[in-house]
Structure 1
Amino acid sequence: MIRRAICTFVVLAAITPHVLADDDSNRRWWRDDGREAHWARPCEVKQESKHGEFKREVKCKDGIGATWHGKWKDEFWDGPCHVKLEADYETFKEEVKCEGRD
């Protein structure tokens, strides 16, 4: 369990600076509804948020610029939020659903 949490943290720590370098809107995703697509060269980033839900998909053509390695899936709870992570050679997907967030 601790090993999974550490691995997940390492992966997210590696991805987040490159993908969200100056994206301040990520800090308030649970309050706002919206869609956003942008490029964090050389990758395309799509984000969608609804009240209590957040989805992010990062696509790096031919794996160029991807900071994650291999193909894997992970699911865990982070407080009241259920987090699903999925990655393959070109795509990283993150889905967060929270219960009781205001």
Structure 2
Amino acid sequence: MKSTLAIVMASALAFPAIALAGDNGKRWSRSEWKEEYRDGPCEVKRESKKGEFKREVKCKDGVGARWRGEWNREFRDGRCFVKQEAKRDEFKEEVKCETGR
């Protein structure tokens, strides 16, 4: 009984870290790729080009949107410049990174 509970707890703690590691590993890669998928009621489009990453999330009629209201935000994340825009039914994120030497 205790070992089963320990396995369940370890899995619950490890899952978010694995999910984030998978996204970050692909997100900042130097290769070109594009993918589209659904996240609940939202459509997600992600694409990467050399030194640039874009993600666009659209939720029909705002259903399932994780953001509140309308806002814009720009900031630096290490060597990258991040631009985010949220509307009632759409979230856009654009990341442009300086190329490494």
> TM class, shorter-chain normalised?
0.7 to 0.9
One-letter amino acid of the counterpart of residue 24, structure 1 = G
Cα gap change, 1:23/1:57 in structure 2, threshold over 3 Å: closer, same or farther?
Answer: farther
**Aligned residue number for residue 83 of structure 1:** 82
Moved segments of 4+, more than 6 Å: none
**Considering only aligned residues, what root-mean-square deviation do their CA atoms show, in Å?**
2.1
- Once the two structures are TM-superposed, the CA of residue 26 in structure 1 deviates from its matched residue by 4.4
Residues in 1 aligned to 2:54 and 2:88: alpha-carbon distance in whole angstroms? 19
Identity score, percent: 58
User: Aligned ranges for residues 34-53 of structure 1 at < 5 Å?
Assistant: 34-53=33-52
| TM-score, normalising length: structure 2 | 0.73
Q: What stretches of structure 2 of length at least 5 have no aligned partner?
A: 1-15
Higher relative contact order (CA 8 A, sep 6+): 1
Q: Which amino acid aligns with 1:88?
A: K
Count of aligned positions: 83
Mapped to 2, the partners of 1:22 and 1:76 lie a distance apart of 20
Partner of 2:70: 71
Matched residue SS, 2:61: helix
Q: Quick one: structure 1 residues 38 and 73, their matched pair in 2 at CA, closer, same or farther if it must change by over 3 Å?
A: same
Mapped to 1, the partners of 2:86 and 2:64 lie a distance apart of: 14
Name the residue aligned to 1:99.
98
Structure of higher CA gyration radius = 2
